[in-house]
Structure 1
Amino acid sequence: MGISLKSCFALGMLGVLCAAGSASAQPASAQQPAAQAPRKMSDEEAKAFAHVMGMVKPGQPYRLNLADPQQLAFTQLALATAGRTASTAPQTLSSVNAAAVRSKKQLRGTRSVDMLAQPMLATVAGGPQDIEIISNFGSEGSNVYTATGYSSVIGGTTQTTITMQLVDTANNIVYATNTNAQYAGGTDFSVSVTGQLPANANVAAVATFVTSQGDTSNTTLVTTTKMVPASTGTMTAPNYCVRTNQSDPNSSCVLNSDGTTQYLTGSTTLVPNPQPIKICFQRGSAQSCDYYNNTLRPASTVFFPSAGTAVFGSNTVGDSYATEGRFTATINDPVGGGGCVFSNNAPLGTGWSVSADKSTLQWNLAQLSMVDPSSCTRYTGGRPMNYMFYIETPLQTTSGPNTGFLSFSSAYSPPMAPGNLGIPGIFLEDSCLAAGTLVQLADGQQVPVESITADNQPKIRTATGDVRTVLGTASGVELRPMVRLKTSSGHDLLITGTHPVLTTKGLVMSRDVRVGDVVRTDKGEARIVSATTEEYTGKVYSLRLGWFDEARSDGRTHTAGGIFVGDSISQWQMERDELQRLKADKAEVERRLPDDKWRAEYRRFIGK
């Protein structure tokens, strides 16, 4: 896909996660009007700004240490800019102040260096973490700039406040500000700011994220730097396998004579409305999986290759690209929140090269993997993930040395800003029923869910009486309390809170099933006599019976402990639908807030 080259800024990593309009929707929130600018920072504001900016590097998200009075002041000033004070947002301010007190106690007697803001993303592969970035920062011409801040917190937040500003850092002048807050969301939230700046301004975008989960709070800061966007780019891996029926995503992949999988070779940036690329776990063969975990790799490893090219117009790639260039690769869960890092600012070493004329940067990475991702993928439950791949490289331009960037993301919406390209997402076939839960096969056998694998494609009978093939299985652990349902017919099921259960009213998340509700079972209809929650530290499992067709239908169900439940795609669809519903359902937002004090703050926020 080609894109025109024009003046553009971009953050130093992760690129355009949220060019997509889907991420900019704010559940039950009230957007604050952009502040009129320019304005000179107050002395207090400039002091806190200089203090914090001296700790951070452009592009890298930093978690502020609220034990430091100036970092705390920076946080409070950002909230005040958003109109969020002790009178308008008392619980938010209380959670910030409580976090500061806890941090001071933890750091009592330590060195001042321990109060520095800390880089937020992992430097090595590891577990899940919050994703908070400036997703794009670009020029629209005539010195008009737009920047977007994006926040995705694991498990969501009680409240998230994002303050976006366009600043002349040389003169401490704020030229544009926009803010917004969100309650009972926080997994997929963004705010954009647009403003015109003088031609000679030393402009930067500054994003401040203040998140609360009950009485705990965190502040994250991200700034930007000027760079040259790629004029063209391709992503040829990961890619789709060649299928026996290319129009059917459930058909098997075609294998070469040596047993390896055949892949399409074109750039995935050219695929319209792309389906996610399927990554499967604990598989002995590919079947319908584009990539799968064979016996040569640990069953817990997420892996797939990456390959592509980047061209930066008439500029050439600098000779020091291997040591000064950097790339970052992540996956992000817009439903469950947070994400996992394959690499963070890793050098362009093995697998990277340039063309003979130095016009093209090339990469061919045999495997992106996490050495111990079991704690990272455990919360995915078998669902599509946003995939992001971001590159920086030194350039030689007609005006001297500079830095170029190219960002690929599956969370996108055309038209894309220069230097940003859309690619398919990643579907991790990785869960929701407690180990030991019995599942009935089509032949009547009752088998533990953990004993089912997709290798032999066992058959399941659905609530409609149809026979469906198990196309994928998943295993992991659950981060939140699970739900135990008991029926009048003696069924006893332990299941994750968002997994769908088939009632006489249709599929309902288990956490929303109430005593007295009627569910569909292997013995007919049965009434719920007990619905409780409990902690569970064992493994959970789920099954996939199809792709995205019929995700909410009775034909995508199977028994679990004798009760009909939906498959993993049904769960993802219900979670996504719930996020959409929260955009307008203020009563549901109130219900999800932890106590009356938070509910009162939310009602004040929406003017109720």
Structure 2
Amino acid sequence: MKSRVQCAVLFSLLALGLVQAGCQGSSNGGNSKQELTQTGLVDGDIKHMTSLALTNGGKLKMDLSDPVQYRFVTARLAASGKTRQNSPQFFSMLDGMVKRHAAVKEGAKVQSGPNTPPRDHIYAKIERPTNETFRVTAFATIEDGADYNFVDIVAWNEAGNVQMSDYGWGEEYSDGRRLIAAASGSVGTTAAVFIKVDSLNIISVAGVEESYYLLESAIIPKAEPGGELIHPRDATGDGLVHLCLDRNYTDCDYPLIGQRVIRFPIKGSIIFATDVERVYTDPAYSFVKVSGQRGGTQQGLSTGIPFGHFVTIDDTDKRKIKWDLAQVDFPSLPFAPNSYVEFILSVKVKLKRGAAGTDAAMVISSLPKGFADTSTTAMPSAKIMRISYSCLAKGTKIQLSSNKTAKIEEIGRQTLVKSDVSGLELPVADVSVGIERIPMVHITDDAGRELLMTKTHPLMTPDKGAVWAGELAVGSKVLTDTGVSTLVKVDQEMYSDNVYNLKLDRGQGKEAAKGSTMFANGFLVGDLAMQKAYEFKNEKDLRADVLLRLPKAWHADYTNSLKVASRR
């Protein structure tokens, strides 16, 4: 049980926003200071679940026809505030699982449903916002979303029988691509603390309804020593790791030129509190994964071999593990623009501690959205990645100062470019050069102007603002150096020569970037800064119009969840 002082610390964390609060849209979640033993969880059930999880490598597909597993789940759910009254479909789903799991055990023929789509459930992070407090995070993701996704997380003492954190949980309706739950607690020491972290994940997607349990041994790290992440890194200091598809310019942290797979180097180290005896190389325990905007995760490989095989124990400091891979491939991640890609690196080791040794996992990951990087620990955080591209064909004429023009490939930095009809002239801050492997868009207007550009290059219109080239059609109105014109021809064609883009020095910030334009063959188009600001404007937002997409059976649960969230 936590002391009054510990509970006061947790209340302060909640007040400061250092733990997850309820979200808007399809997301909901929060934290409960209530002890799980007060919601029906008993010590025998904890031991039973620990034994089952460890027998299955720490990951368990649950059998809710087992009374202990069912009681374990419902005791945790009680702390989230879910009841049969406010969540009727949720509990109907659990009842259905109980019957189906019982029928399977009795040998009955149960009609097989659709396969579960790619999903993952990961212990994603542990950090110390202050020397006296800690925070753990779980991440649950389903490719292309789900009708419903629920995840929770709790931290326990090393023996697994004393709750050390509050209860953190999150849920999403008609989404579930990127769901997190975080729990916070306090410790009475600044030294490293060995703990256990466990998490439930309950899903309903495309006719599949299942529950999963994750148990992991972990360490609350002390401030020193910690770890280091050298690659991937944000070399430009803009808060993102930029992967540029067949492009190279100064904002690119990793230009992927002449490649057809997402790849980048991975280098770093972690120092544990005691000597490391062995590294678990099984990709279930030691891995590098990324998760893009579609959800799900993709595991990284080096020469086809999982990451864990390349983690070694340092010869001069046995507490230290390290890795240095010049190239890690993510063949399942589409070679296409991606507005955000989460990075998760996890290593599990056996430490020389106690007679039988002690297992422990450490994670370096990009911060979940909604949390500030307030950690005092030396353990590093990775940055969210962005994959992008856009360009104009070689030979495109750009208007310069004094109404002169120049081919885009002949323009260098500091060249003054005419930015809009007012005559504003801006210097070129950067030049992007690359190639294009997919069809480009070729437009012709009623004045005979022509322009060839990539599908995601922005053009300015009189009624819709910036639109992608790929969104244009015959009859579309666009802005030019002489006013509004109408497109009379829009085609797509392959292009084998170099493509280019310019970045104009218009100032800092996204709002400045949104107004960064230039004239290309007479058309008013966006530059590289505008491209980055608008590139993902049409990204599918599964949070919008939730009730239109959510099966009717879930409507009451969803509307009730909004009422509960509004009262928090």
TM-score (norm 2): 0.61
The equivalent of 1:190 in structure 2 is: 180
What displacement does 1:367 show? 1.5
What displacement does 1:307 show? 2.2
The equivalent of 1:11 in structure 2 is: none
Q: Distance in 1 between matches of 2:50 and 2:347?
A: 28
CA contact 1:391–1:406 (8 Å) conserved in 2: yes
The CA deviation string for residues 496-542 of structure 1, in whole angstroms up to 9 with x for no partner, is x99988665655889xx9xxx996466966999xxxxxxxxx9xxx9
Q: Distance in 1 between matches of 2:203 and 2:418?
A: 45
* Aligned counterpart for 2:199 among listed residues 207, 215, 222: 207
The equivalent of 1:234 in structure 2 is: 228
SS at match of 2:532: helix
Which deviates more, 215-224 or 98-107? 98-107
The CA deviation string for residues 281-312 of structure 1, in whole angstroms up to 9 with x for no partner, is 345x77764433455xxx22222222233333
The equivalent of 1:316 in structure 2 is: 275
> Partner amino acid for 1:57?
G
The CA deviation string for residues 173-206 of structure 1, in whole angstroms up to 9 with x for no partner, is 777534343335534432233457999x996332
Q: Distance in 1 between matches of 2:226 and 2:550?
A: 48
CA RMSD of aligned residues (A): 6.4
SS at match of 1:182: strand
* Aligned counterpart for 2:148 among listed residues 159, 162, 166: 159
The equivalent of 1:277 in structure 2 is: 241
How many pairs are equivalent?
491
CA contact 1:281–1:293 (8 Å) conserved in 2: yes
What displacement does 1:388 show? 2.8
Q: Distance in 2 between matches of 1:340 and 1:442?
A: 41
The equivalent of 1:377 in structure 2 is: 334
The equivalent of 2:260 in structure 1 is: 300
1:342 aligns with 2:294: no
> Partner amino acid for 2:136?
A
What displacement does 1:571 show? 3.9
* Aligned counterpart for 2:290 among listed residues 331, 343, 364: 331
Q: Distance in 1 between matches of 2:177 and 2:372?
A: 19
1:10-409 map, 5 Å: 26-28=23-25, 29=27, 31=29, 34=32, 36-37=34-35, 38-39=37-38, 40-41=40-41, 49=49, 53=53, 56-58=56-58, 64=61, 69-70=65-66, 73=70, 77=74, 79=77, 82-93=80-91, 129-137=118-126, 146-166=135-155, 176-194=166-184, 204-213=196-205, 216-227=208-219, 229=221, 231-239=225-233, 274-282=238-246, 289-295=252-258, 299-313=259-273, 315-318=274-277, 320-321=278-279, 327-333=286-292, 335-342=293-300, 346=306, 348-350=308-310, 352-370=312-330, 372-373=331-332, 376-378=333-335, 381-397=337-353, 401-403=357-359, 405-409=361-365
CA contact 1:99–1:216 (8 Å) conserved in 2: no
Q: Distance in 2 between matches of 1:597 and 1:322?
A: 44
Which deviates more, 382-391 or 89-98? 89-98
CA contact 1:277–1:424 (8 Å) conserved in 2: yes
SS at match of 2:144: coil
> Partner amino acid for 2:365?
S
1:382-461 map, 5 Å: 382-397=338-353, 401-403=357-359, 405-411=361-367, 413-416=372-375, 418=377, 420-429=379-388, 441-442=396-397
Structure 1 pair 195/470, CA: closer, same or farther in 2 (3 Å)? closer
Gaps of 5+ in 1: 1-19, 121-128, 242-248, 250-272, 445-452, 478-486, 490-496, 529-537, 583-587
What displacement does 1:602 show? 2.1
Q: Distance in 2 between matches of 1:97 and 1:545?
A: 59
Structure 1 pair 104/471, CA: closer, same or farther in 2 (3 Å)? farther
Q: Distance in 1 between matches of 2:437 and 2:553?
A: 35
Structure 1 pair 98/363, CA: closer, same or farther in 2 (3 Å)? same
The CA deviation string for residues 120-166 of structure 1, in whole angstroms up to 9 with x for no partner, is 9xxxxxxxx54432333578999986433233433344433233345
CA contact 1:214–1:594 (8 Å) conserved in 2: no
Q: Distance in 1 between matches of 2:432 and 2:198?
A: 45
SS at match of 2:352: strand
CA contact 1:471–1:544 (8 Å) conserved in 2: yes
CA contact 1:454–1:471 (8 Å) conserved in 2: no
SS at match of 1:224: strand
The equivalent of 2:490 in structure 1 is: none
Q: Percent identity?
A: 13
Q: Distance in 1 between matches of 2:98 and 2:66?
A: 11
Q: Distance in 2 between matches of 1:52 and 1:288?
A: 49
The equivalent of 2:557 in structure 1 is: 601
Q: Distance in 2 between matches of 1:171 and 1:321?
A: 23
The equivalent of 1:555 in structure 2 is: 516
The CA deviation string for residues 404-449 of structure 1, in whole angstroms up to 9 with x for no partner, is 5543333273332647312344332369x9xxx99994479xxxxx
Q: Distance in 1 between matches of 2:561 and 2:549?
A: 14
1:458-473 map, 5 Å: 471=432
The CA deviation string for residues 364-417 of structure 1, in whole angstroms up to 9 with x for no partner, is 2222113x33xx2256x2434232323333333588833455433332733326
What displacement does 1:604 show? 1.9
Q: Distance in 2 between matches of 1:455 and 1:93?
A: 66
Structure 1 pair 27/440, CA: closer, same or farther in 2 (3 Å)? farther
SS at match of 2:560: helix
CA contact 2:53–2:214 (8 Å) conserved in 1: no
Q: Which is greater in Rg? A: 2
CA contact 1:208–1:220 (8 Å) conserved in 2: yes
Which deviates more, 401-410 or 345-354? 345-354
Work out which structure has the larger RCO, using CA pairs closer than 8 Å and 6 or more positions apart in sequence: 1
CA contact 2:146–2:204 (8 Å) conserved in 1: yes
> Partner amino acid for 1:221?
Y
The CA deviation string for residues 206-248 of structure 1, in whole angstroms up to 9 with x for no partner, is 211223446554534222214474723222334567xxxxxxx
Structure 1 pair 168/509, CA: closer, same or farther in 2 (3 Å)? farther
